[in-house]
Amino acid sequence: MDIKEINTITDVAEQLQDLLTDCIESGASVGFLTPVDEQEVSLYWSSVAKQLETGERKIFIACESGQVIGAVQLSLCAKPNGAHRGEVEKLMVHTDARGQGVSKQLMARMESVAGELGLSLLVLDTRIGDVASSLYRAIGYTEAGHIPQFARSSNGELEGTVYFYKLL
């Protein structure tokens, strides 16, 4: 498996769309509802592409045999008082590749780059009870608190979120 940071999504845009669709359809808490709206997914990746160009965002992908099997994003804070922190967003692993350590490797690579960028704090949130919570705890993130009815799950029900942070 190859884990790398990419500066443009042009060559893998279709694969990233497929990855996000797979995650939405499998119930992942990634900000979208079912049924999947392919135009909404496409527009989302267009906005990510623009943020990569401006340097507001970093993206890391996991590839196996030339196929994108996972991704994670790092959103950089543009505010002067927040230049030391980043937000981890959309950790996704294709359903066919889960349970193989892809998430841990993606997070390790992203955290390494975050440190190289001079970041000292990473924050993220995930749905309460989601399997991702166990992952984040296992790799050193600290739970900071819960907010009930924070977002709709992929099926439209309101669910709470849990915030985590990690000092680098």
Q: What is the pLDDT of residues 14-66, one digit of tens each?
A: 999 999 999 999 999 899 999 999 999 999 999 999 999 999 999 999 999 99
Kindly report, residue by residue over 107-148, the tens digit of the pLDDT. 999 999 999 999 999 999 999 999 999 999 999 999 999 999
Whether 156 is covered by a domain: the verdict is: no
Q: Is the peptide bond before 35 cis (omega within 30 degrees of 0)?
A: yes
66: phi > 0 → left, psi -120 to 50 → alpha, else beta; which?
A: left
pLDDT digits (tens, 9 = 90+) for 59-106: 999 999 999 999 999 999 999 999 999 999 999 999 999 999 999 999
pLDDT at 98: 97
**pTM value > 0.85:** yes
In this structure, what is the dihedral angle of CA atoms 49, 50, 54, 56, given to the nearest 10 degrees? Answer: -70
Domain for residue 73, yes or no? Answer: yes
Q: Classify residue 49: in a domain, yes or no.
A: yes
Q: Give a yes or no: residue 52 inside a domain.
A: yes
Look at the block and give the residue holding tokens 């990510």.
Answer: 48
pLDDT of residue 153 exceeding 90: no
User: How many folded domains does the chain comprise?
Assistant: 1
Question: Is residue 155 in a domain?
Answer: no
- Predicted local confidence at residue 99, as pLDDT: 95
For 146, the token pair is: 């819960």
The parent domain of residue 45 ranges over 2-120
Token pair 């937000």 is at which residue?
87
Q: Which helix (H) or strand (E) holds 50?
A: helix 38-54
Asked, for residue 6, whether it belongs to a domain, the answer is yes
CATH number where 48 lies: 3.40.630.30
Q: Which residues contact 43 (CB under 8 A, 6 or more apart)?
A: none
Report if residue 112 sits inside a domain.
Answer: yes
Determine, yes or no, domain membership for 135: no
Which residue, 67, 74, 64, 69, is CA-closest to 107?
Answer: 74
Tokens found for residue 42: 């496409």
